[in-house]
């Protein structure tokens, strides 16, 4: 069954405890935490101290997405802060195999993210070592952007590659997902849907989360 990772990027950070407590009682599978450094992407968000605070009260595993330059310098901090999944960008890593194996050796699932312009073929050598691939379906940096429709073909290509080699790699997508395109995403081969705006800009976040989980 496809899983849901609820992104807190567009939640109310002044009331973050209430947000996490709401997600604890929801059907979401993960809490998605976007880390942005203002360099790799044109936005700033949060770092390890806030993630540690979230971990203290979260009943859900933390799906931490690093949109930062030179992530190897900071991986230990984010593992220590409580990440269950730690995803780095292919475009930001010089020695991706080392980064993936380092993360997994510390008991954390390792993901690789691809920007919209990066073809899935670049991952062919790293897929055997990777727990998941996060396909950015918007340009990274801000929530609330429109879904890039060419992403469906990209998802299908990646799924074909995974099936061809009988890998266990999961496909996650991030950006522009809502209840109108979730079924098509699942049919294309997505295993984990990241949703933020669709949840937190609604009048009833719990209901939206429940609706996502009912889509097959």
Catalytic residue numbers, as ranges:
34, 174
Question: 34 has which bridge partners?
Answer: 65
At 192, which helix (H) or strand (E)?
strand 192-195
Beta-sheet strands, E only, within 11-119:
30-36, 62-67, 83-89, 109-114
177 neighbors 209 (Cβ within 8 angstroms): no
Residue 112 has phi, psi (to 5 degrees) of: -125, 130
Q: What's the rounded Cα separation, in Å, for the pair 171 and 186?
A: 10
What's the half-sphere exposure (Cβ side, CA atoms, 13 Å) at 103? 32
Measured between alpha carbons, how far is residue 186 from residues 11, 108, 127, 136 in Å? 25, 25, 20, 15
Return the sign of the alpha-carbon dihedral for residues 141, 78, 90, 197.
Answer: negative
């Amino acid at each position: 069954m496809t899983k849901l990772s609820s992104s807190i990027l567009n939640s109310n950070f002044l009331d973050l405890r209430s947000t996490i407590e709401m997600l604890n009682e929801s059907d979401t599978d993960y809490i998605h935490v976007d880390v942005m450094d203002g360099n790799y992407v044109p936005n700033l968000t949060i770092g390890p101290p806030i993630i540690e605070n979230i971990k203290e009260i979260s009943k859900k595993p933390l799906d931490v997405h690093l949109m930062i330059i030179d992530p190897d310098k900071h991986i230990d901090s984010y593992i220590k802060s409580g990440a269950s999944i730690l995803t780095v960008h292919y475009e930001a890593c010089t020695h991706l195999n080392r980064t993936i194996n380092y993360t997994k050796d510390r008991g954390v699932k390792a993901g690789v993210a691809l920007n919209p312009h990066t073809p899935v073929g670049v991952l062919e050598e790293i897929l055997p070592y990777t727990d998941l691939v996060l396909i950015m379906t918007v340009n990274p940096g801000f929530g609330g952007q429109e879904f890039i429709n060419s992403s469906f073909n990209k998802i299908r290509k990646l799924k074909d590659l995974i099936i061809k080699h009988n890998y266990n790699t999961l496909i996650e997508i991030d950006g522009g997902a809502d209840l109108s395109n979730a079924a098509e995403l699942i049919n294309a081969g997505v295993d984990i849907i990241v949703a933020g705006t669709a949840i937190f800009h609604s009048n009833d976040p719990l209901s939206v989360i429940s609706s996502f989980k009912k889509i097959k």
